[in-house]
């Protein structure tokens, strides 16, 4: 089955710096890659996703890149702010035309943005 590895497990940056979180997946048939942000005591919230027919997607300060050949994808956050501090999860699935598939999550990255 699918296995998703996420690095680093913790990341500390200064406010205004960029943060990069990387994930690798094992199932070459995976084609849907969402990223979730989870704040303390809350459920995960989708922040951006990408499908395998595109290599990059951007939404304001966040972007995701996908390298299908190497089977890895990354989350990039620019101009980080203290409110970006949270746990970030990547996930992968085989999405069909009628479903998003079974999401397999990475282990999470705790991002701390220091003011």
Residues that bind other proteins (CB under 8 A): 4, 6, 41-46, 89, 91, 95, 97-100, 102-103, 105-108
Given phi > 0 = left and psi -120 to 50 = alpha, else beta, which region is 16?
left
Which residue lies nearer to other proteins by CB, 60 or 97? 97
Pairing of the two strands 10-14 and 109-114: parallel
Dist CA 73 CA 83 (whole Å): 23
- CB of 15 or CB of 46, closer to other proteins: 46
Q: How far is the CB of 15 from other proteins (least distance, A)?
A: 25
Of 44 and 73, nearer to other proteins (C-beta) is 44
């Amino acid at each position: 089955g699918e296995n998703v590895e996420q690095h680093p497990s913790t990341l500390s940056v200064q406010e205004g710096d960029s943060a990069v979180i990387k994930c690798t997946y094992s199932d070459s048939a995976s084609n849907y890659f969402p990223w979730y942000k989870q704040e303390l005591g809350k459920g995960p919230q989708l922040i951006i996703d990408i499908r395998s027919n595109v290599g990059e997607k951007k939404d304001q300060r966040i972007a995701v890149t996908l390298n299908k050949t190497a089977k890895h994808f990354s989350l990039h956050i620019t101009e980080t702010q203290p409110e970006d501090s949270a746990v970030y999860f990547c996930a992968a699935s085989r999405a069909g035309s009628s479903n998003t598939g079974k999401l397999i999550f990475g282990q999470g990255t705790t991002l701390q943005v220091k003011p």
